[in-house]
Amino acid sequence: MSSLAVVALPRVNQITGRIVTGAMKVHSQLGPGLLESAYEHCLAHELRKEGLQVARQVELPVVYDGERIDLGYRIDLLVEDLIVVELKCVECINPVHQAQLLSYIRLSGKHVGLLINFHVAHLRNGIKRMVDGRNWEK
């Protein structure tokens, strides 16, 4: 394993922990039942208060056959240019939601993502961390 990956891993873990803490704070104050956009704005606000760099609705083009194609894909939140955060407000996380996050991770060239479903009674039951192990050391 390269030294870059060894150094990056604790930082990624620390940032994902801070994102989860922020999401729990938002969920505790707002509860389930709002639109995804409400949680997105509030979580971005919470993370910025904690000193994290947060980009919302980041364009995510598909590169196919050497051509960049904008198909309207958007990353809900990109934190510290490292962590892809996909937010949901659904009855339950389905495999298609996990596939979406993994696709966004790969298309963005990032390695770690969080899938957070705010439509749950206890947020700990609505969080899924995913890692794309391909090229992790790069």
pLDDT digits (tens, 9 = 90+) for 62-94: 999 999 999 999 999 999 999 999 999 999 999
Assigned domain for 59 exists: yes
Assigned domain for 136 exists: no
| Token duo for residue 67 | 């051509």
Assigned domain for 33 exists: yes
pTM: 0.88
Check whether 115 has a pLDDT greater than 90.
yes
Assigned domain for 60 exists: yes
Assigned domain for 26 exists: yes
Q: What is the CATH number of the domain that holds 56?
A: 3.40.1350
Assigned domain for 137 exists: no
pLDDT digits (tens, 9 = 90+) for 98-108: 999 999 999 99
Assigned domain for 138 exists: no
What is the percent of the chain where pLDDT is above 90?
A: 86
128 touches 96 (CB < 8 A): no
Separation of alpha carbons 37 and 57, rounded Å:
10
3-state secondary structure of 32: coil
Q: How many domains does the chain have?
A: 1
pLDDT computed for residue 100 by the predictor: 95
Assigned domain for 81 exists: yes
Find the domain containing 104 and state its range. 3-131
Separation of alpha carbons 21 and 109, rounded Å:
25
Separation of alpha carbons 135 and 110, rounded Å:
10
